[in-house]
């Protein structure tokens, strides 16, 4: 541009302090590529230096002031024209004037509040720092109240199971430990798997946009159990590409995670139960390099994962879902005796994820409200499914 | 495991399908294994794990029969060894791969995941025992995820194979962290009960019409389940105490609760075989208690028999201390068996008998001197059969076979028929058998007596013995009177007295007669065992008298074989000390032989008389006059003429000639009573005989032979001439004339 005598006659460079030692994190870009950006946490000071290098050694640059801004913004895919800024801070670096030589300015945003984590999803949401994008991770403390999820579900006279996940909130490198206990089995189950489903909700109210993605399919049982069997669950989350759960970020979008327990019978009918879990990011700890640590992580004794062990009574309300009348409603609708559509339509386990995710969509839309209101009541919610796939 | 059965089973298209499916799976495995090993060579562990996982994925199939699946499994586990060795090597060099135990659990499919987890877990244990206990516990728990019977059984078998040499085998105090034997016990017991459940579940899957095939398949897989028990038995730290308090109760609980006949049958048998005898002794009551609780379809008797046999063998083995005296082994089993019989009204008689046979074996093996035990068993058997309403026992039936086995046991183990005679319930049981089997047992007993030289020293015992083997002594079902009647009947029927077969009843065939001859010879030989010993001559005589009395009831066909030994035996003992009795003895012999003669067995009688005469000749016996009383004058004459007559009926002329010539002596040296012991020297008759012989010789076609006959004849003439020379001249002259006349012919 300088060829024409206007346009930037100087190059501007932002150097963040400690950029060579700072950790970097990967972010997906709009086109799907991944790039690494310096990683900042909430409340951390962002400081650095701005270098203005004049193109011509003895030229001069007249400016109306030099500012640096720290901006957090959300771009929604379906609403590209509008940017929603949730953070905006300005530091004045220089008064209007003329630069005759290269200049360098230090800046510092002290203890800047970065309320949201960087996130790129199907709905393309991102935090940007002008000119220099940074990545923000928000860390969460281990939640004080982290009760297990325990529930008895089933279809009357057909299948009754009790499942338990050891927590309701997991950090991103956590392990889900649990157990499925079969109380009644009158169907021939072929296998059982746990899926991790991510649901993005962009916008709100009636215009909210939902998108589901199955991130993990993890087989936890092969073959048909009989009454009284208990099947262990151990799912390492670090094997998957997960982000923290995000709730109503700046009233723009949410990201939620669900564990979906799916039982497939010999006729490829699928019985499932979805259960939301909260994911959060925990500060990295230096791992002890000795084996015993590994073992601690790798092994979870049944004793430690024992369900209903020293559980306090307040857990009981959840248990009441057992008696929930919806179970019966559910059973009439998912009864294998009345398939109204060809089984193959949605039943194949090999079907692409989207198919199933969409199927879920249909059903979830109707019930969006109650779920948003009260997560603890998830268990009570029983939805009708198309006849092949039964939600437990 | 399957090698023995490979050739059987599966037919036609199924086989082809199986082969094709198996081949496909095997080729995938080979390819993946090859790539896995190549990655290992290049130290690309993650890629190697990926290929290993692909390879293991083949084990997810539901299409293969157990046999094919086994082949696939074998190949795959073989390849997994490479991975294990590589990891061990790396770990021992200190290149421990971080979080490998966690890493392999990322695999999405459970089968490859668990196989990898086991492999890695064992590598961890082998490198450091610190977390051994935890890893073992974790592995066996995680395997619950595979609920498919076949895949689950093989997975758990892999677990068992891999952990073979790493199970903690020390008592609790020694190693707190790395686990103790109780951890191993928990581990194996859990694995065992899970495997057993899967194995039992196989039975209830699929179509009922395939039940037989499923059972067959299950049998092929039983070793997988049994390996758990083998592993337990290999843990040295499991002592009797631990076995009794922990191991056995758990195994029994599982096996009783599974209520599956096949499983119960196999596992119980397995327990008996894999654990030491001392343990069985210590836990007998528990084990027997469990036996009573098994599924009615389980052949409990096989289990008990197996256990009893094992303990019997143990008690008699060299170096063992025998059964501890505080364990009333016999009572245990006897009670238990009684309970089983009581609880199982549908128990077949043969099962009942074979149970009792095992018990007898125990009594005989462990308590050799407790005849009452054996008698008790026999009594129970007898009453048991009564209760079951068994009246007739067919030959060749299983029951007959079992009962025969039972009856032979005491014979074999005691080698003393006299003890048998003391048992009150042996004979009744024996008499239940059908005739051929009864005879064979009786013959077996007699043979045993002969082999052991069992002497029967008293008449009561002889009586008992002969009563015991009465099927051999007399015709079945016939008491003494009937037998006698029978004998008369056969007598009146007549027939050729020289041939016993003619005396046989209607259905008597050649084979029957051979059998009869064999049995009766045996009986005859046993008569020689009726011996009181040298000092008890009176008793000896009594014994023989008894023997004769009873044997005589056997009828014509039998006495032929049985009485002669009596005669011989009685003579055998006539040594110097017994002189006083000699007369009695000879009278005895005489009457016996007469009895034989009455039975139209004159040839035999004759031979016996002749033999008796020889004996009398040899011993200093002054009452010679009695010796020939057997031949009354009135029958002497016909006997002689009959002899001549018989002689001239011989087949060949030369034989006729010689025989008739020999008969001449009868008329010369015979001493009929009317001559007061003088030789009769009936020259006329002698001459007749010799003339007849000469005539017969002249009819002979062969000139050389004829000449020889004449020469012999001349010899006869010369003898009689010389003999008669000292007598009246007239007769001497006649003789000489005759001689010359014969010479003239020559």
Assembly ipTM: 0.72
Query: B567, B568, B537, B571: which is closest to B552 by C-alpha?
Result: B567
Mutate to test the interface with A, among B53, B117, B142 (most CBs of A within 10 A): B142
Give the pair of three-digit tokens for residue B75: 């190949």
Contacts of A318 (CB under 8 A, 6+ apart): A149, A150, A151, A376, A379
Cβ proximity of A77 and A121 under 8 Å:
no
Containing domain of residue A103, as a range? 10-136
pLDDT recorded at residue B295? 87
Tell me whether residue A192 is in a domain. yes
Give the pair of three-digit tokens for residue B381: 């058997």
The answer to whether residue A88 scores a pLDDT higher than 70 is yes
Q: Are residues A130 and A193 in the same domain?
A: no
Interfacial A residues in 119-178 facing B (CB < 8 Å): none
In percent, the amount of chain B with pLDDT more than 70 equals: 72
For residue A48, the tally of other CB atoms under 10 A from its CB is 20
Model pLDDT for residues B222-274, shown as the tens digit of each residue:
999 999 999 999 999 999 999 999 999 999 999 999 999 999 999 999 999 99
pLDDT recorded at residue B584? 61
Give the DSSP per-residue string, A309-326. Answer: SS--GGGHHHHGGGG-TH
Q: Inspect the interface and report whether the beta carbons of B138 and A299 lie closer than 8 Å.
A: yes
> Which residue is closest to A188 within chain B, CA to CA?
B205
Q: Phi and psi for A307 in degrees, rounded to 5?
A: -90, 150
Mutate to test the interface with B, among A232, A294, A353 (most CBs of B within 10 A): A294
The answer to whether residue B5 scores a pLDDT higher than 50 is no
Instruction: Indicate the length of chain A as a whole number.
Output: 392
pLDDT recorded at residue B553? 67
Helices B556-572 and B480-493: crossing angle in degrees, nearest 10, is 110
CB of A220 within 8 Å of any CB in chain B?
A: yes
- Give the Cα separation of A350 and A341 in Å (integer): 18
Q: Are residues A123 and A189 in the same domain?
A: no
Q: Are residues A48 and A168 in the same domain?
A: no
Tell me whether residue A327 is in a domain. no
Of A218, A229, A292, the CB nearest to B147: A229
Tell me whether residue A309 is in a domain. no
> Which residue is closest to A230 within chain B, CA to CA?
B144
Tell me whether residue A328 is in a domain. no
- The CATH number that applies at residue A233 is 2.60.40.640
Domain boundary among A86, A107, A136: A136
Q: Inspect the interface and report whether the beta carbons of A234 and B105 lie closer than 8 Å.
A: yes
CA atoms within 13 A on the CB side of B382: 17
Model pLDDT for residues B659-696, shown as the tens digit of each residue:
777 777 777 776 665 656 666 777 777 777 778 887 87
Q: Which residue has the tokens 């012989």?
A: B693
Q: Are residues A253 and A173 in the same domain?
A: yes
Tell me whether residue A344 is in a domain. no
Q: Which residue has the tokens 């019989």?
A: B341
Of A222, A294, A299, the CB nearest to B110: A222
Query: Higher confidence at residue A42 or residue A245?
Result: A245
SS3 sequence, B204-254? CCCCHHHHHHHHHHHHHHHHHHHHHHHHHHCCCCCCHHHHHHHHHHHHHHH
Q: Are strands A270-280 and A389-391 parallel, antiparallel or unpaired?
A: parallel
Of A220, A239, A300, the CB nearest to B110: A220
- Give the Cα separation of B57 and B113 in Å (integer): 9
Q: Are residues A199 and A166 in the same domain?
A: yes
Q: Are strands A34-41 and A135-137 parallel, antiparallel or unpaired?
A: parallel
pLDDT recorded at residue B490? 37
Q: Are residues A72 and A180 in the same domain?
A: no
The answer to whether residue B46 scores a pLDDT higher than 80 is yes
Cβ proximity of B323 and B366 under 8 Å:
yes
Sheet with strand A230-236: strands edge to edge: A149-155, A159-165, A175-185, A230-236
Residue B105 C-alpha, separation from nearest chain A C-alpha, in angstroms: 7
Q: Are residues A164 and A264 in the same domain?
A: yes
- Give the Cα separation of B256 and B251 in Å (integer): 9
Q: Are residues A180 and A105 in the same domain?
A: no
Give contacts of A239 with chain B, Cβ < 8 Å.
106
CB of A236 within 8 Å of any CB in chain B?
A: yes
Q: Inspect the interface and report whether the beta carbons of A297 and B110 lie closer than 8 Å.
A: no
CA atoms within 13 A on the CB side of B152: 30
Q: Are residues A122 and A155 in the same domain?
A: no
Domain boundary among A102, A136, A170: A136
**What pTM did the predictor assign?**
0.70
The answer to whether residue A187 scores a pLDDT higher than 80 is yes
Burial (CB < 10 A; 0-12, 13-18, 19+), residue A286, is exposed
pLDDT recorded at residue B607? 65
pLDDT recorded at residue B398? 81
Cβ proximity of A109 and A45 under 8 Å:
yes
Tell me whether residue A156 is in a domain. yes
Residue B429 C-alpha, separation from nearest chain A C-alpha, in angstroms: 51
- Give the Cα separation of A262 and A274 in Å (integer): 9
The winner for highest mean pLDDT among A250-264, B65-79, B278-292, B468-482 is B65-79
Of A223, A232, A294, the CB nearest to B151: A223
Tell me whether residue A76 is in a domain. yes
Q: Are residues A181 and A221 in the same domain?
A: yes
For residue A120, the tally of other CB atoms under 10 A from its CB is 17
pLDDT recorded at residue B639? 64
In percent, the amount of chain B with pLDDT more than 90 equals: 27
Model pLDDT for residues B300-355, shown as the tens digit of each residue:
888 888 888 888 888 777 666 667 777 778 888 888 788 777 777 777 788 888 88
**What does the pLDDT average to over B635-649?**
67
Cβ proximity of A54 and A101 under 8 Å:
yes
Q: Are residues A218 and A111 in the same domain?
A: no
Domain boundary among A136, A160, A190: A136
Q: How confident is the model at residue B206 (pLDDT cuts 50, 70, 90)?
A: confident
The answer to whether residue A376 scores a pLDDT higher than 70 is no
Beta bridge partners of A90: A69
**What does the pLDDT average to over A15-41?**
79
Helix (H) or strand (E) holding A61: strand A61-63
Q: Are residues A95 and A191 in the same domain?
A: no
Chain B residues contacting A via beta carbons under 8 Å: 60, 96, 98-102, 105-106, 108-111, 113, 124, 128, 130-131, 134-135, 137-138, 141-142, 144-149, 151-152, 197, 201, 205
Tell me whether residue A372 is in a domain. no
Query: Higher confidence at residue B553 or residue B54?
Result: B54
- Report how many domains make up chain A: 2
């Amino acid at each position: 541009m300088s060829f024409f005598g206007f346009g930037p006659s100087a190059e501007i460079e932002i150097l963040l302090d400690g950029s060579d030692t700072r950790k970097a994190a990967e972010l997906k870009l709009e086109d799907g590529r991944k790039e690494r950006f310096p990683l900042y946490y909430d409340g951390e000071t962002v400081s650095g230096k701005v270098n203005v290098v004049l193109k011509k050694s003895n030229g001069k640059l007249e400016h109306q002031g030099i500012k640096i801004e720290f901006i957090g913004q959300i771009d929604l895919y379906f609403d590209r024209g509008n940017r929603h800024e949730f953070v905006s801070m300005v530091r004045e670096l220089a008064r209007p004037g003329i630069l005759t030589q290269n200049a360098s300015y230090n800046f510092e945003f002290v203890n800047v509040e970065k309320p949201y984590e960087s996130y790129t999803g199907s709905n393309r949401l991102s935090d940007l720092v002008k000119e220099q994008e940074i990545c923000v991770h928000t860390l969460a403390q281990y939640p004080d109240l982290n009760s297990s999820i325990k529930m008895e579900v089933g279809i009357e006279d057909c299948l009754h199971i009790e499942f338990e996940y050891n927590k309701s909130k997991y950090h991103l490198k956590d392990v889900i430990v649990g157990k499925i206990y079969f109380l009644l089995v009158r169907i021939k189950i072929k296998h059982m798997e746990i899926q991790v489903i991510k649901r993005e909700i962009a916008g709100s109210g009636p215009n909210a946009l939902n998108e589901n993605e199955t991130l993990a399919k993890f087989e936890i049982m092969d073959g048909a159990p009989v009454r009284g069997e208990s099947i262990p669950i151990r799912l390492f989350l670090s094997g998957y590409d997960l982000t923290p759960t995000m709730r109503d970020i700046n009233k723009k979008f949410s990201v939620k995670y669900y564990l979906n327990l799916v039982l497939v019978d010999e006729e490829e009918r699928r019985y499932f139960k979805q259960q939301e879990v909260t994911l959060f990011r925990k500060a990295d700890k230096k791992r002890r390099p000795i084996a015993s640590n590994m073992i601690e992580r790798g092994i979870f004794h049944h004793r430690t994962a024992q369900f209903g062990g020293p559980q306090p009574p307040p857990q009981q309300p959840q248990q009441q879902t057992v008696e929930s009348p919806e179970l019966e409603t559910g059973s009439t609708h998912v009864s294998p005796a009345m398939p109204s559509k060809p089984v193959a339509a949605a039943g194949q386990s090999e079907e692409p994820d989207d198919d199933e995710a969409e199927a879920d969509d249909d059903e979830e839309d109707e019930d969006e409200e109650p779920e948003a209101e009260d997560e603890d009541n998830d268990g009570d919610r029983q939805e009708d499914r198309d006849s092949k796939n039964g939600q437990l | 495991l399957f090698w023995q059965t490979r050739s059987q089973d599966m037919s036609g298209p199924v086989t082809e399908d199986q082969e094709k499916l198996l081949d496909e799976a095997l080729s995938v495995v080979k390819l993946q294994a090859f790539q896995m090993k190549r990655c290992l060579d290049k130290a690309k562990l993650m890629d190697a794990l990926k290929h290993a996982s692909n390879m293991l994925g083949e084990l997810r199939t539901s299409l293969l029969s157990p046999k094919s699946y086994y082949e696939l499994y074998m190949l795959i586990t073989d390849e997994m060894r490479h991975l294990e060795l590589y990891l061990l090597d790396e770990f021992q060099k200190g290149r421990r791969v971080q979080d490998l135990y966690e890493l392999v659990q990322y695999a999405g499919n459970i089968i490859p995941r668990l196989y990898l987890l086991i492999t890695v877990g064992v590598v961890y244990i082998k490198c450091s025992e610190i977390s051994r206990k935890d890893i073992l516990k974790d592995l066996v728990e995680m395997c619950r995820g595979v609920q498919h019977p076949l895949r689950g059984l093989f997975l758990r078998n892999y677990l068992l194979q891999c952990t073979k040499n790493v199970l903690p085998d020390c008592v609790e105090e020694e190693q707190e962290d790395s686990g103790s034997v109780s951890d191993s016990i928990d581990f194996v017991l859990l694995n065992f009960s899970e495997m057993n459940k899967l194995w039992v579940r196989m039975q209830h899957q699929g179509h009922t019409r395939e039940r037989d095939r499923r059972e067959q398949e299950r049998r092929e897989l039983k070793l997988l389940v049994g390996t758990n028990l083998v592993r337990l038995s290999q843990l040295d730290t499991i002592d009797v105490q631990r076995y009794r308090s922990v191991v056995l109760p758990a195994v029994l609980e599982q096996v009783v609760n599974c209520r599956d006949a096949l499983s119960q049958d196999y596992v119980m048998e397995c327990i008996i075989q894999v654990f030491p005898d001392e343990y069985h002794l210590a836990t007998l009551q528990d084990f027997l208690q469990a036996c009573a609780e098994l599924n009615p379809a389980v052949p409990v008797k096989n289990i008990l028999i197996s256990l009893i046999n094992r303990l019997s063998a143990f008690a008699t083995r060299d170096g063992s201390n025998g059964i501890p005296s505080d364990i009333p082994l016999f009572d245990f089993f006897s009670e238990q068996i009684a309970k089983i019989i009581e609880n199982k009204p549908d128990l077949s008689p043969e099962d009942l008998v074979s149970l009792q046979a095992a018990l007898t074996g125990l009594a005989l093996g462990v308590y050799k001197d407790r005849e009452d035990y054996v008698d008790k068993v026999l009594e129970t058997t007898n009453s048991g059969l009564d209760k079951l309403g068994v009246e007739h026992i067919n030959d060749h039936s299983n029951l007959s076979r079992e009962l025969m086995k039972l009856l032979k046991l005491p014979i074999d183990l005691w080698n003393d028929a006299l003890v048998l005679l003391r048992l009150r319930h042996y004979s009744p049981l024996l008499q239940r058998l059908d005739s051929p089997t009864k005879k064979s047992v009786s013959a077996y007993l007699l043979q045993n007596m002969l082999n052991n030289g069992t002497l029967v020293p008293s008449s009561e015992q002889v009586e008992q013995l002969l009563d015991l083997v009465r099927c051999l002594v007399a015709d079945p079902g016939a008491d003494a009177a009937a037998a006698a009647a029978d004998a008369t009947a056969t007598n009146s029927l007549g027939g050729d007295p020289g041939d016993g077969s003619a005396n046989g009843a209607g259905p008597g065939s050649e084979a029957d007669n051979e059998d009869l001859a064999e049995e009766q010879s045996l009986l005859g030989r046993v008569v020689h065992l009726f011996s009181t010993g040298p000092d008890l001559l009176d008793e000896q005589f009594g014994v023989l008298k008894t023997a004769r009395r009873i044997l005589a009831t056997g009828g014509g066909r039998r006495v032929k074989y049985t009485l002669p030994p009596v005669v011989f035996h009685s003579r055998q003992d006539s040594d110097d000390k017994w002189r006083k009795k000699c007369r009695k003895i000879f009278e005895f012999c005489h009457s016996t032989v007469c009895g034989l003669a009455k039975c139209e067995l004159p040839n035999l009688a004759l031979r016996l008389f002749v033999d008796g005469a020889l004996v009398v000749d040899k011993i200093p016996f002054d009452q010679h006059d009695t010796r020939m009383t057997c031949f009354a004058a009135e029958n002497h004459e016909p006997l002689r003429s009959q002899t001549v007559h018989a002689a001239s009926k011989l087949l060949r002329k030369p034989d006729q000639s010689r025989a008739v010539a020999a008969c001449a002596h009868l008329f010369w040296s015979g001493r009929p009573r009317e001559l007061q012991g003088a030789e009769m020297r009936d020259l006329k008759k002698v001459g007749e005989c010799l003339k007849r012989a000469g005539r017969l010789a002249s009819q002979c076609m062969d000139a050389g032979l004829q000449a020889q006959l004449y020469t012999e004849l001349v010899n006869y003439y010369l003898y009689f001439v010389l003999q008669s020379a000292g007598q009246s001249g007239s007769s001497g002259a006649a003789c000489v004339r005759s001689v010359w006349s014969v010479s003239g012919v020559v």
